[in-house]
Structure 1
Amino acid sequence: MDDVCVTGQDGDVEFALVSGHPALDLAGTVQWRRTEPVDLLVDPDALRSWLVVAGVAPGSVQVGTAELATARTLREAAYRLAWDRLEGRPFDGDSLAIVNAAAAGPAMAIALTRHGLVRRGDADAALGDVARALITLLADPSAPPIKECGREACTRLYLDRSRGARRTWCGMEECGNRVKAAAYRARRRGGG
């Protein structure tokens, strides 16, 4: 999926849904983690927008400050566990407890209608579904590898489902094109 721009109280917020998994996309709502972190979940409206554009909750979902705090806590736990997988180390115990607690909560109700899939439930149920999806991913030994974007400043994690697991960037639109353009400019400067 491409970048999705939504308007929150603090103006437009872009969510790049490029990770191939809702928990990794949630973790990606903090940009530039190692340099100058930017939290895209600035308020409950931004979380509501993310839940909707990520396809895990209906547009009518209500989100307050408690759900925002839960989402931020789940996000950091998801990022830590995914990073643990990427690094091949044991999972962090505190992060496991957070994800398992979220997964033990309610689930979204789904129904098939003439117009397609409909989800019903609250923000906690949507976050519970994200936690359950993460558990399923991390428990699957045949799951695609989790990688970090190859663009130096980007810290997004993604599932590499490419042939031969050769994907380098979280997404071509933002990171891949910028890296390729910089390499091209460097070659042009060096050649002449």
Structure 2
Amino acid sequence: MKLEHAFPCGSPALDFAATLRARRTVRFEMLVSPDRLDAWYVGSGILDAVTPSRESDVERAIEVREAIYELVSARVAGEEYDRAALAVVNGAARKPPATPQLTPSGRWTDATPEEALSTVARHAVELLSGPDVPLMKECGNPECTRVYIDRSRGMRRHWCGMESCGNKLKAQAYRARKKQVQASAAR
């Protein structure tokens, strides 16, 4: 698996929670270093620049990420929130967030790692208390544990993203159908 950040979930909070991939199987950590954390913040579009993170920032980000994932999973399952996870996310959201600035060339947002993490936590608070809650779904790929916002017509989307899970599962289904047709023809 490549070490590239992906943003298919429709929310920075959900994409952040998805930085630990395949939670039920091989668990693939995307936030392996301060540089990777900084790359996620900028790649997600919530910031234009971030003061370089340290290992302690990565540890804190992973703690907040896991709390966000726990709260999202509970919300999707219709279960009560874990109080410890609530405390972690709310604690991060209470910190000052990244503040966009207007420049002659447009908007520019730079932040410290703490401000960046606060911004992600605030996205989680807004998501989990807002109108998109009924649109949250877990990816239909059994190996994937991403939760995404389904804004498709009729809410018929099955995968977090076509490029990752959708194409893979469609190709598997096609091969299975082709194999079945060949087996039937051989009889």
TM-score between both structures, scaled by the size of structure 2: 0.92
- Max Rg structure: 2
Counterpart CA distance in 2 for 1:143 and 1:175 is 22
What are the Cα deviations for residues 15-48 of structure 1, in whole angstroms up to 9, with x where unaligned? 1110111111111111110111111100111101
Partner of 2:85: 95
State which of 4, 21, 26 in structure 2 corresponds to 1:14: 4
For 2:131 and 2:151, the matched residues in 1 are separated by 14
Say which SS state the counterpart of residue 3 (structure 2) adopts: strand
1:68 aligns with 2:68: no
Equivalence map 1:164-183=2 (5 Å): 164-183=154-173
Q: How does 1:90-129 map to 2 (within 5 A)?
A: 90-129=80-119
Normalised to the residue count of structure 1, the TM-score between the two structures is: 0.89
Taking the aligned partners of 1:76 and 1:133, their CA distance within structure 2 comes to: 15
How much does 1:112 deviate? 2.6
What amino acid does structure 2 have at the position aligned with 1:102? A
Higher strand share: 1
Provide the rounded CA distance (Å) in 1 between the counterparts of 2:6 and 2:176: 27
**Where do residues 41-52 of structure 1 align in structure 2 (5 Å cutoff)?**
41-52=31-42
Q: Which has the higher helix share?
A: 2
User: Alpha carbon RMSD of aligned pairs, Å?
Assistant: 1.4
Distance across 2 between alignment mates of 1:186 and 1:75? 36
Answer whether contact 1:86 1:145 (CA < 8 A) is retained: no
Contact 1:144 1:161 in 2 (8 A): no
Higher RCO structure (Cα 8 Å, ≥6 apart): 2
Report how many residues are paired: 181
- The corresponding residue for 1:189 is 179
Aligned residue identity for 2:21: Q
Query: How much identity, in percent, do the aligned residues show?
Result: 43
Matched, 1:55 2:51: no
Contact 1:57 1:122 survives alignment (8 Å): no
Alignment partner, residue 140 of structure 2:
150
- Structure 1 residues not aligned, in runs of 5+: 1-11
Whole-angstrom distance in 2 between the partners of 1:162 and 1:114: 37
- 2:58 paired with 1:33: no
* 8 Å Cα contact 2:22-2:145 kept in structure 1: yes
Instruction: Give unmatched runs, 5+ long, in structure 2.
Output: 183-187
1:61 and 1:79, CA in 2 relative to 1: closer, same or farther beyond 3 A?
A: same
Counterpart contact for 2:67–2:88, Cα < 8 Å: yes
- What residue number does 1:162 align with? 152
Aligned AA (1:191): V
